Amino acid sequence: MSRIGLIDYGMGNLHSVQRAFERIGTSVVAVHDSSAMEACEGLVLPGVGAFDPAMERLNSSGLAPAIHHWCQAGKPLLGICLGLQLLFEGSDEGLLPGLGLIKGRVVALPRKPGYPIPHMGWEPLLPAEPSPLLPTGSGESWVYFVHSYAARPSDSRCNTALVNFADQTVTAAVWQGAIGACQFHPEKSGDAGEAILRRWLAWLQD
């Protein structure tokens, strides 16, 4: 069984993510610094809140360069919600640079009457490029969203799932190299979210 590190920078939904992994038989360890990463086979970057405060905490704790080093070494990382947005170069929500591990920017969701922001609730994923999170033939997945911003990758081939919002499609999940991330909350998405986490773990063990 893989040893999973859950990055703790004070802005993540750690307990719900931890419980979700425990439900599928995987324990996680809290990661507060680079030394705690050494024994891990995969990292999870959760996040709830605003972009700039999250980057401030990652920078001040030394976790930002440690995450860079981890990903540049080709090691697996899974971002969740704000954790997806932090992987990009920047966000309309703030002024600070993001981690820049995936090229592109996080933009505000389009405003249109009848579509309240934040976008909150259950939506079906629209499959894009197949990935270990959402391989070909994985079936329909309804998942739970809470967000006001969405990533816009420079290379649309990073998108492994999209979601409809305000008569447009926006990024719901990405995959690049050994980096995967979900804008939705797999830990709050019932059987569909559990299946996505199981696929990620299975990919780690291949």
**Torsion, Cα of 141, 199, 17, 107 (10° steps):** -60
For residue 67, how many C-alpha atoms fall within 13 Å in the half-sphere facing its CB?
32
Q: 3-class DSSP state for residue 167?
A: coil
Which token pair is 50? 């605003």
185 assigned to active site:
yes
| Structural domain total, the chain | 1
Provide the domain limits for residue 173: 4-205
Q: Report pLDDT digits (tens) over 89-115.
A: 999 999 999 999 999 999 999 999 999
pLDDT (tens digit, 9 = 90+) per residue, 2-58?
Answer: 799 999 998 877 999 999 999 999 989 999 999 999 899 999 999 999 999 999 999
32 is catalytic: no
Catalytic residue among 40, 81, 158, 182: 81
What average pLDDT does this structure show over 63-87? Answer: 97
Q: How confident is the model at residue 1 (pLDDT cuts 50, 70, 90)?
A: low
Q: What CA–CA distance (Å, rounded) separates 123 from 119?
A: 10
What global pTM score does this model have? 0.96
What is the pLDDT, as a whole number, of residue 191? 96
Q: Return the number of other C-beta atoms located less than 10 Å from residue 12's C-beta.
A: 25
Q: Annotated catalytic, 187? A: yes
Catalytic one of 40, 71, 182, 185:
185
Please report, rounded to a whole number, the percentage of residues in the chain having pLDDT higher than 90: 91
* Tens-place pLDDT, residues 110-167: 999 999 999 999 999 999 999 999 999 888 999 999 999 999 999 999 999 999 999 9
Tell me the CATH number at 181.
3.40.50.880
CA angle 50–172–37, rounded 5-degree value: 65
Q: What is the pLDDT of residue 2?
A: 74
* Residue 186 clears pLDDT 60, i.e. is over it: yes
- SS3 state of residue 112: strand
What residue has token string 């990903």?
Answer: 71
Q: How far apart (Å, rounded) are the C-alpha atoms in residues 127 and 139?
A: 9
